[in-house]
Structure 1
């Protein structure tokens, strides 16, 4: 069964997200501009670590979302464009995970592949 958990960010209960991913191995998690509003809080720190820890399999499980016009990325607030939002979200993931073999374009391509699956 393919399921998509919408709008994962630092406010999500990441233990439940992990249970979801383990219970439904063909499932996907969605990330949108809300992830770019991270700060120095404990939740933001845990979220970034969660991303890094799951980075080996995350490309096969992620979908980038625009959630236009409501959840714009921090750097696009007030001038929101859905296409730019995907790039900003992919850039944040790339920066947070810091995998030298991945870049924002990689995450866009993974998302597109997962959407087509």
Structure 2
């Protein structure tokens, strides 16, 4: 059984002391590739260094997280553009809209989101979309720019079955992580209506650990618990879920092509 973690921040300080052991556990669990979404320029060096240390396992994205859209967002976006012009990346991410914590820079978040969606189209790579308290706005923005050349994942999918269908109708995949294992989260029931065909696995490590590790630091090896829950939801073998989600991840993130370019 092979697994792909499509969204993991293994380069942040939470892993500074034992990232090698974390990656060893991931390999032992069958995790073959781990995609590293960017946050902002303060984390670029750590992210790219981890990719350089483990080029066969870790693949970086490049983007500006919506929670990092502040007064200096234009300079941050310029750095994103420069990096994307220098070398291949697995995707543009983590980008999107977040109206949960603060809406002070709402207008700027929309501008940053649109610009980065256009960058993804220009470079022919997918996006990893962060959407918190902004599902409708994020999807409407994607649809307004969709010309057949936008693809990617709604990371940490949250929404009902109808919204899931709208996301997949727009050509996107649903990123599923530890939340699906939460007893009162409701996501398992929603996915049972939406179907398994457009799912990819993710951890969002170090956040959102699955049961039985909820409240503790998340890591890529915990994908096995997410697969087990999805197998239960869809009454499928765990290997079938692993194979399907890995195929989806390779398709949307063009992983074989990225490997060749590297």
Is the 1:4–1:30 contact (alpha carbons within 8 Å) kept by the matching residues of 2? yes
SS at match of 1:63: strand
* 1:31 pairs with 2:31: no
CA gap of 1:49–1:36, structure 2 versus 1, over 3 A, is closer
Q: Are residue 90 (structure 1) and residue 227 (structure 2) matched? A: yes
After the TM superposition, which residues 1-117 of structure 1 pair with which residues of structure 2 at under 5 Å, given as runs?
Answer: 1-9=150-158, 12-24=159-171, 27-39=172-184, 44=186, 47-55=187-195, 58-59=196-197, 61-77=198-214, 78=216, 80-83=218-221, 85-98=222-235, 102-117=236-251
Query: In 1, distance between residues paired with 2:170 and 2:228?
Result: 29
For 1:89 and 1:80, how far apart are their aligned partners in 2? 12
Question: 1:50: Cα distance to partner?
Answer: 3.0
Count of residue pairs the alignment pairs up: 101
Hey, what's the Cα distance between the residues in 2 that align with 1:2 and 1:50? Answer: 22
> Whole-Å Cα distance in 2 between the matches of residues 68 and 86 of structure 1?
10
**Secondary structure at the residue paired with 1:29?**
strand
Q: 1:71 to 1:14 in 2, by over 3 A?
A: same
Output the aligned Cα RMSD. Answer: 2.1
Gaps of 5+ in 1: none
Q: Secondary structure at the match of 1:66?
A: coil
TM-aligned CA deviation for residue 16 of structure 1? 2.5
Structure 1 length normalisation: TM-score? Answer: 0.71
More strand by share: 2
Query: Cα offset for 1:18?
Result: 1.9
Gaps spanning 5+ residues in structure 2: where? 1-149, 252-262
**TM score, norm. by length of structure 2:** 0.35
More helix by share: 1
Distance 1:36 1:49, change over 3 A: closer
Aligned to 2:82: none
- Alpha-carbon shift at residue 3 of structure 1 (Å): 2.0
Corresponding residue SS for 1:67? coil
